[in-house]
Structure 1
């Protein structure tokens, strides 16, 4: 039998494709509830949530990679960008410089960034932060429980990014890798809200 057509080879290709798609993310269509009406039109994988349809982010808490306690609820009153990432995720490496640049630009305006290091070891996550010079804190989510708490507007893939408004409601999300030009306008728009 030709190895290109063997069932084992086909299964391996399907498994690899599925794993890569999960890391890279995909475009979401419609709202997370399947209604299709929760999001303002976006550019594929970037979506803004209408103010009237925003839901509160879960009051997640945990410890950072430096073992410091961190609660999202303590950041209410500020715009918060929450990025779900892992050291084993290639698209996460690609977006890290843009996230850090946006963090440095928007921090003086009262915008906070919080990473969520998903299903990874603390050592690998810290090495990633050193390599990419990430200076904002990340919650350590080895078990995936913090990420699971966001099931109402799930990340859907690693990486994914959520933008929370000053009331702690989810105002926008980017499923899959983001860029400076994709995330920057979303952050600026939510930061301009009063």
Structure 2
């Protein structure tokens, strides 16, 4: 006789099974988090920074009728901008790519505003003080407000920053850009929407 009881093997097997059932989900979760970290790139807080830029195919849809409290105290309803081509830019003062592209946005806005184009900036996951300082530092003149809770960003389906939505004169979102934008792409998107009837 070996001296081992049949219950000893069953107990060992149960312990191994219990250990595997605990460790396997943990290993899966660690792997999933690692994969997500590699896909996101840089992160700050709860929202990823879009490293690579480009257009994301979307189905045209009506822009949400949201109200944004601007940093100057006024309120702006996006629906009131119907009849103009609109670019909604989601950004944050701590985002390096947002900082890099803001001089371009300011310059293009100045050129296109008289053609029936409006830009609206929406600072997300930021503080009012930091966002206002950022706007003053860069001389931004187009309307900007803070979406501190991220409600407007969630309503639009924002996945990272910088992120832009282009709205036609009828109030339909036609294009979506993620990441930093080049001058050529920005001008082309605005020109396309201005030319559309």
Establish whether TM, by shorter chain, passes 0.5. Answer: yes
1:174 and 2:177 aligned: yes
Following superposition of structure 1 onto structure 2, how do residues 1-194 of structure 1 map, counting pairs within 5 Å? 14=37, 17=41, 19=43, 22-26=48-52, 45-47=54-56, 53-150=59-156, 154-194=157-197
Cα drift, residue 17 of structure 1: 4.0
Cα drift, residue 62 of structure 1: 2.0
Unaligned residue ranges in structure 2 (runs of 5+) = 1-29
The question of whether the paired residues in 1 share the 8 Å contact of 2:89 and 2:162 is answered with: yes
Cα distance in 1, alignment partners of residues 145 and 72 from structure 2:
9
Query: Residue deviations 1:67-120, cap 9 Å, x none?
Result: 211000000011001000000100000110111111111100010000001111
The question of whether the paired residues in 1 share the 8 Å contact of 2:84 and 2:169 is answered with: yes
Compare the two structures and name the one with the higher helix fraction: 2
Cα distance in 2, alignment partners of residues 47 and 143 from structure 1:
25
Unaligned residue ranges in structure 1 (runs of 5+) = 1-6, 28-44
SS in 2 for 1:139: strand
Cα distance in 2, alignment partners of residues 24 and 57 from structure 1:
22
Cα distance in 2, alignment partners of residues 176 and 182 from structure 1:
12
The question of whether the paired residues in 2 share the 8 Å contact of 1:48 and 1:186 is answered with: no
SS in 2 for 1:116: strand
Cα distance in 2, alignment partners of residues 155 and 97 from structure 1:
22
CA RMSD, 1 decimal: 2.2
Give the TM-score normalised by structure 1.
Answer: 0.76
Evaluate the alpha carbon distance shift between residue 25 and residue 155 of structure 1 in structure 2; reply closer, same or farther with a 3 A threshold: farther
